[in-house]
Structure 1
Amino acid sequence: MKEKISKKFEELFNTTGAFYASPGRINLIGEHTDYNGGFVFPGAIDKGMIAEIKPNGTGKVRAFSIDLNDYAEFGLTEEDAPKASWARYIFGVCREIIKRGGNIQGFDTTFAGDVPLGAGMSSSAALESTYAFALNEIFELNIDKFELAKIGQATEHNYCGVNCGIMDQFASVFGKKGHLIRLDCRSLEYKYFPFDPEAAGYKLVLLDSVVKHELASSAYNKRRQSCENVVAAIKRNHPEVEFLRDATMEMLNEVKADVSAEDYMRAEYVIEEIQRVLDVCDALEKGDYETVGEKMYGTHYGMSKLYEVSCEELDFLNDIAKECGVTGSRVMGGGFGGCTINLVKEDKYDAFVAKAFAEYTKKFGHEPKLYNVVISDGARRLA
């Protein structure tokens, strides 16, 4: 990939620049916990974005996307916003740095990525983090890593129309090989936990259903509303409760008669999921991957039956994982399509993949996609 980027850079700009990279991410456990003040548990992966960059001494950015075979040129003031959506990510990062007082000049860049698009591994956060990290270093801005992640998040909010949380950008900037990061979505405190399934004889595999159901945004808002309804009910007896993260199952049961059955189910899932993240962290500190797997299945059950954000295709892949003796499997991401993430013993891997492909294709008329992932480092300069 680097060669391809370098060749195009030289062809377009007749010079050479510095290389920077940032990864996509997976989230092992902790789904729909972020807006409830809970924990998420992501890790950076060995797939991401790579860019070659060099200041060009002008007030203009000249950028080329190799994957889209598209060129864009734009200035650095608000009126210069480019039309192409991919270019708006780079422009947004520049603007967010400038808003924070960073002095950026024009630069030339070419970039490419190997994060699968639409598979829930956050290719956009990888792109934002690559440029935030690179521009910070190239223009010697001394912005700390937390702020770099926030610059990526603000780019999504202000220039790309996506009101995302901080997890994706955080994982892309802070990723560390062989470790997952437990991020407290309320305080933004974080802690690294060892995660090296290969050393313990496991593989981490994503199976992409290659479907995306259209319910996602309205269903997401509805579930968020359910959580807020329950917090409001609990708060009457327990004023200290601000998020479901502060609530216990006892508190939830106290208000069972005051909330709808649907709201109760949604809250039950979230309270249990927040606890599962903590249980998985404890298990990893002991190297106990069996417990990790068991909790992943618990998450899938909760997302399917209580939060109701799974779909037939994802439930089918989860059932096959169970039949094949896969250690852990669950839907990854917001739901209604996308991937399952699977923790598979090496000696069961071939049989699981073969069965999943054969049975899924027979049932749904198209193959799933397979991605093996390795937990890797975050944003960095490449030698």
Structure 2
Amino acid sequence: MSSKMDQDQDKPAVYSLAEVTASQVDRYRNITSRHKERYGKFPDFLARAPGRVNIIGEHIDYSGYSVLPMAIQQDIVMAVSTNNSGEINLTNTSSKYSDFTTSIKDFKINSTKPSWYNYFLCGVKGILEFSKLSDPVGLDVTVDGTVPPSAGLSSSSAMVCCAALSLMHANKLAISKMELADICMRCEWYIGTQGGGMDQAICFLAKEGYAKLVDFRPLRATDVKLPTGFVFVIANTCVEMNKAATAHFNVRVVECRLATQIIAKAKGLNWREIRSFGELHKKLGLSLQEMLAVVEEILHQHPYEKKEVCQILGVTDEELNKESLSANTLDVEQFKLYNRSKHVFSEAERVESLRHGNITEGSTLGRILFDGHHSGSVLYECSCKELDELVEICRNAGAIGSRLTGAGWGGCTISIVPETLADSFLAEVRSKYFEVDPKRLERVDQNLFVTQPGNGAHLVEDNFAEF
């Protein structure tokens, strides 16, 4: 890879085919060929956006706390050419996804039961609203993905980011990586996912060989060197959870908001103006340890009934729905505010311990991963029996740290494994988890793999007719 790839430029990088890695060449050649077959012309450019794995800091970005993700080598790649029809035409190299066509100016995003192309439309809508483009060019797009879907590796965010990058470049817009990350975070709100921006930040800001410590409000990303002598192993439970198609994710967002507002009111603050733990934390001026003490002081451990929350905040059911809940959480009647608060503040503390500690010490990072999984499983209840089982298998196979990663309720684990044990680790996890179920074994190579920190989203321009 050219040294040009390592530059942390303000705008997404644009490379030639001579500058991409040998492993990417065959992939790019295949998608170029598929694009020519489908549309009768070669692409004008390729856009690439990586998936990501969060090393530590789960379900705290939307509360305003820092996280430690890295981009993975698995990605979404799009071959793109422009058209004068005013349409978006989408095709996917996987036959499981049907073709789709719509107007580029007049389309609807289905947030109730989203299909794959709705995530593309989210990215398009974000750029259109940001740029105020009155006459965007039409797009013919071929999509190819190697990020396992609904696995907690951010396949949906990679799709959104890649779509936004494609529309930006096709219309010759100049938008910084920071701006793109912020735009794409808001894009996913169109489909009903109230995330906090981690996925989009690492997608655009990642640097090959490094994790990123991502801070929010304002968005900042700092390179973090990871322990040497270890590899990261991703293992997919093969249990799929689509954030946009279920209420699990947004219920947790709402529980954090309600806990924030109840604590704010108890502390004499204007609770209606405070919507996240991060905002509350800043106003109170306390340490994370002190915030954990506040949780013990104010919140009771058993679940809160909706009626009780209304009484504490002094609002009607309808007012609470408007002030604090989201569309797919209006019917929720119980909220576990104590447990969710304990997870967020303790998980934020785990991230902070790495900011000032020695992250190059593998055992320290490993212990933090195990602690993070226990908190996510017990306090945040975003695990499942398959995730818990897989973490235990990984522990016994030699991982010095392992935990669920991504939204949870299925998806993947991330494990940190001594490099010398990588082969035996993979063999044992394959034997104990994948070989016991023929369906899991079918795609084991796509669901159990070693990965290293990859680079962020970029573009490829060249004479594809000669490729």
- Answer yes or no: same fold by TM over 0.5: yes
Equivalent residue number for residue 35 of structure 1: 62
Pair 1:153-2:185 in alignment: yes
Q: How does 1:332-347 map to 2 (within 5 A)?
A: 332-347=405-420
- 2-structure distance, mates of 1:84, 1:231: 30
- 2-structure distance, mates of 1:227, 1:163: 12
- Number of residue-to-residue matches in the alignment: 378
1:59 to 70, 75, 86: 86
Cα pair distance change 1:240/1:357, threshold 3 Å: farther
Equivalent residue number for residue 268 of structure 1: 342
Equivalent residue number for residue 129 of structure 1: 161
- 1-structure distance, mates of 2:109, 2:437: 42
- 2-structure distance, mates of 1:255, 1:61: 49
Pair 1:16-2:45 in alignment: no
- Is 2:62–2:195's contact at 8 Å kept on the other side of the alignment? no
TM-score (norm 2): 0.72
1:85 to 115, 118, 124: 115
Cα pair distance change 1:5/1:327, threshold 3 Å: same
- Is 2:240–2:410's contact at 8 Å kept on the other side of the alignment? yes
- 1-structure distance, mates of 2:108, 2:249: 33
- Is 1:233–1:255's contact at 8 Å kept on the other side of the alignment? no
Equivalent residue number for residue 209 of structure 1: 237
Q: CA deviation at 1:268?
A: 2.1
Q: Deviations over 1:33-70 (max 9, x none)?
A: 12222112222111111111122233223332122363
Q: CA deviation at 1:363?
A: 7.0
Moved more, 139-148 or 160-169: 160-169
Q: CA deviation at 1:105?
A: 0.8
Supply the AA of the counterpart residue of 2:57. G
- 1-structure distance, mates of 2:435, 2:268: 52
Q: CA deviation at 1:364?
A: 6.8
Pair 1:120-2:149 in alignment: no
Cα pair distance change 1:174/1:362, threshold 3 Å: closer
Q: Deviations over 1:307-365 (max 9, x none)?
A: 23222222222222332331211111222221110000022222322222323358777
Supply the AA of the counterpart residue of 1:162. T
Cα pair distance change 1:363/1:107, threshold 3 Å: closer
Secondary structure of 1:88's counterpart equals helix
Cα pair distance change 1:311/1:84, threshold 3 Å: closer
1:231 to 231, 235, 260: 260
- 2-structure distance, mates of 1:155, 1:256: 36
Q: CA deviation at 1:250?
A: 3.2
Cα pair distance change 1:89/1:290, threshold 3 Å: same
TM-score (norm 1): 0.87
1:244 to 265, 268, 277: 277
Supply the AA of the counterpart residue of 1:273. E
RMSD: 3.0
2:296 to 216, 241, 256: 256
Supply the AA of the counterpart residue of 1:7. S
Secondary structure of 1:337's counterpart equals coil
Q: Deviations over 1:210-252 (max 9, x none)?
A: 1247999555455445434543454334749954342533344
Q: How does 1:238-317 map to 2 (within 5 A)?
A: 239=269, 243-245=276-278, 246=281, 248-254=288-294, 256=296, 258-262=298-302, 263-283=337-357, 287-317=360-390
Cα pair distance change 1:107/1:334, threshold 3 Å: closer
Supply the AA of the counterpart residue of 2:341. A
- 2-structure distance, mates of 1:81, 1:308: 30
Q: CA deviation at 1:287?
A: 2.1
- 1-structure distance, mates of 2:293, 2:355: 27
1:171 to 188, 202, 209: 202
- Is 2:150–2:241's contact at 8 Å kept on the other side of the alignment? no
- 2-structure distance, mates of 1:190, 1:54: 32
- 2-structure distance, mates of 1:213, 1:71: 23
Task: State percent identity of aligned pairs.
Answer: 29
1:374 to 414, 437, 452: 452
Secondary structure of 1:326's counterpart equals coil
- 1-structure distance, mates of 2:122, 2:390: 38
Moved more, 354-363 or 300-309: 354-363
Moved more, 234-243 or 49-58: 234-243
Q: CA deviation at 1:115?
A: 0.9
Cα pair distance change 1:240/1:341, threshold 3 Å: farther
- 2-structure distance, mates of 1:287, 1:345: 13
- Is 1:234–1:251's contact at 8 Å kept on the other side of the alignment? no
Supply the AA of the counterpart residue of 1:138. A
Pair 1:2-2:28 in alignment: yes
- 2-structure distance, mates of 1:222, 1:365: 34
Supply the AA of the counterpart residue of 1:201. G
Cα pair distance change 1:64/1:306, threshold 3 Å: closer
Q: Which ranges of structure 1 fall in alignment gaps of 5 or more residues?
A: none
- Is 1:206–1:341's contact at 8 Å kept on the other side of the alignment? yes
